[in-house]
Chains A and B, each alone.
Chain A
Amino acid sequence: MSEPIGIEIRNLYKIFGPRGADYVDAVNRGMTKQELNDRYRHVLGLRDINIDIPAGAIQVVMGLSGSGKSTLIRHINRLIDPTSGQILIEGQDVVGMTPQVLREFRRHKTAMVFQKFGLLPHRTVIENVGYGLEVQGVDHAARDKVSMRWIERVGLLGFETKYPSQLSGGMQQRVGLARALANDAPILLMDEAYSALDPLIRYDMQTVLLDLQKEVRKTIVFITHDLDEALRIGDRIALLRDGQVIQQGTGQDIVLNPADDYVANFVQHVDRGKVVQVGSVMEPLGINGTAPAMMVKSDATLTDAVRQMMAKGVHFLEVQDKGGKPVGRLSLERAISVAAGAA
């Protein structure tokens, strides 16, 4: 199994159009996407993106349609060339790679899942799953062995000789996922991989991904415009607007401290009780004399804590860190008011 590796995106700009590089300065000085389009007929794709994605983390990128999510993720394996900036992976700048080096990099370091699946319609499931290995030159028998393992893992056993058009959307995306995983690349890029699926299947596929991540631990960049999905899946979330990162941090950071009205609007309908962890809203120990009888781990959600208090009929919980050391306390009142968005 490959070790996870991190991704550092530095000062990344993308301006679509024949003379994009000429306008980086202007954009830098504050020209907006609208102005750039009106005055110079160039489209601002990305502006000064800086994101550090730690090895083994799931980084979610969110934003409305046209905010530049697809553009951003396609820079990581250079399906799109940037106008300026760097993408550092294992100390190597993807932007400077020669075509051969880039090809090897794509074969062994990254794998991608697409919104509309991007499967080869003339190939069966097993031939699609083995595509990455085939391109690498792995022989037929070895390829099929690995493919079968992943086909089984994503729950498609028995469908390996079917063609994509014979499968439902959810099943096709399982093929897309298996194809990406069969590559055993440390970086997994998912561009709205689940957006085309209906809610139940989508939830199902999120579970598949989270379970897999416990086993194989990859660095995953996951694009979505669904906040619930982002909060469920993402270790970290970056919010894009008009090609710019307007906030990045954990799901809790964004829900509890939205950077501006745009973000606040985005998160206002979230069920905060399911997102916010006890540790981030607890009060210091010992303001109130009586020691709580029950305790809760600091990474439990508020909803869990409230449920526990209701069940036991208590009004306070002691909050403990991972080692079991008491670090604070939580009152029922505070838990409910934060969860309801009142605090």
Chain B
Amino acid sequence: MFDEFPQIDNGLLRDLKRAIDEGFRAFTRSYGDAIETMFDPLRHFLNWSEKLLTGTPWPIIILIAAGLAWFASRSARMVIGCVATLCLIGAFGMWDDMMKTISMILTSTLMAIAVGLPIGVLMSRSDRVQAVVNPVLDVMQTMPPFVYLIPVVMLLGIGKVPGLIAVVIYAIPPMIRLTNLGIRQVDGEVLEAADAFGSSRWQRLVKAELPLALPTIMAGINQTIMMALAMVVIASMIGVQGLGQPVLQAISNQYFTLGLFNGLAIVGIAIVFDRVSQAWGRRIQKHRGGHHV
């Protein structure tokens, strides 16, 4: 009697799935091209940044990386660590793949910021928006990424842009959440002061709320970068080039060493991004303690 859970009639279930799939396919047929054109600027940008990174001679890239690390941390150790990681990955023959991955990460992070920051600000403005967005973010964070690869691929096919979109969907929740949180945590008296001196809403946002929320927002950006890196392997399933693809090959062909090298390269990049962005975050909040001397 209770051996089997009473389920919806098999035929009905099949019809339901078919109806939804048909509907989505029809949608893809009629709007797919339009949507693809809509994302054209994104593809151009992706191609441009990839060409820039792979086309620039390696000594210049290393120099720029060292410069950024120094600017962010003012620490020689950080610069040496950063340069050594890049050189090591290059020496093991993964330079081009690394550049492609970095280009992907930078683009998807920029996009996550461009989309996530305004959403986070809106969320901080209204409890109702927060109540709607939060469960959506929960779903985005718990849904296995393979699942939303399917509609993205149906709509846009295989390639960089769908890969980018999949990465952004996966990586954007912490950006939105921490922007919202950061702004909500801003000291009420400082905001009252901003209002009392006659700030417009925009002035209040850019002169008080965002700068005061910046440390939290930076933590969000950091997490977004880490999640984007974690997604790189999965996104390579739908045509994103870079360090993820060899890993994929390694899985299907059982090349353990190939997988390990590329995996370690991803870890290396993650550590560099993480340490550098955190050092920068610490440096900009040096004076924000708010405590008395």
Interface residues of A (CB under 8 A from B): 74, 77, 79, 103-108, 110-112, 114-122, 131-132, 134-136, 163-169, 172, 179, 183, 189
Query: B240-265 CB contact bits vs A (8 Å, 1 = yes)?
Result: 00000000000000000000000000
Which of the four size classes fits the interface of chain B?
Answer: 20 to 34
Top 6 A-B residue pairs of the complex, sorted by shortest distance between their CB atoms: A107-B198, A118-B193, A163-B287, A106-B198, A112-B196, A132-B197
Nearest residue, chain B, Cβ from A165: B289
- A111 lies within 8 A of B287 (CB): no
* Interface residue B212 (Cβ < 8 Å from any Cβ of A): yes
User: Of B192, B200, B207, which one neighbours A120 at CB under 8 angstroms?
Assistant: B207
Nearest residue, chain A, Cβ from B285: A122
Q: Separation in Å of the A137 CB from the closest CB of chain B?
A: 10
- A112 lies within 8 A of B293 (CB): no
CA distance A119 to B203 in the complex (A): 15
- A121 lies within 8 A of B212 (CB): yes
Q: Separation in Å of the A184 CB from the closest CB of chain B?
A: 12
* Interface residue B14 (Cβ < 8 Å from any Cβ of A): no
- B287 lies within 8 A of A103 (CB): no
Query: B192-208 CB contact bits vs A (8 Å, 1 = yes)?
Result: 11111111100100011
Residues of A within 8 A of B291 (CB): 165
CA distance A163 to B288 in the complex (A): 8
Query: B271-293 CB contact bits vs A (8 Å, 1 = yes)?
Result: 00000000000000001111111
Residues of B within 8 A of A164 (CB): 287, 290
- A168 lies within 8 A of B292 (CB): yes
CA distance A163 to B195 in the complex (A): 21
Given contacts A114-B189, A114-B193, A121-B212, contact A165 B200 (CB under 8 A): no
Given contacts A168-B292, A172-B292, contact A122 B197 (CB under 8 A): no
- B293 lies within 8 A of A136 (CB): no
- B287 lies within 8 A of A118 (CB): no
Interface residues of B (CB under 8 A from A): 187, 189-190, 192-200, 203, 207-208, 211-212, 214, 287-293
Q: Separation in Å of the B289 CB from the closest CB of chain A?
A: 5
Residues of B within 8 A of A114 (CB): 189, 192-193
Jot down 19 A-B pairs with beta carbons below 8 A, ordered by A: A79-B192, A103-B198, A103-B200, A107-B198, A110-B196, A111-B196, A112-B196, A114-B192, A116-B187, A118-B187, A119-B193, A120-B211, A121-B212, A121-B287, A131-B207, A135-B199, A165-B291, A165-B293, A189-B196
User: Of B187, B194, B198, B292, which one neighbours A136 at CB under 8 angstroms?
Assistant: B198
- B293 lies within 8 A of A135 (CB): no
User: Of A116, A131, A163, which one neighbours B189 at CB under 8 angstroms?
Assistant: A116
Q: Separation in Å of the B283 CB from the closest CB of chain A?
A: 12
CA distance A35 to B200 in the complex (A): 39
Given contacts A119-B190, A120-B190, A135-B203, contact A111 B293 (CB under 8 A): no
Nearest residue, chain B, Cβ from A106: B198
Residues of A within 8 A of B214 (CB): 122
Residues of A within 8 A of B198 (CB): 103-108, 132, 135-136
CA distance A131 to B287 in the complex (A): 18
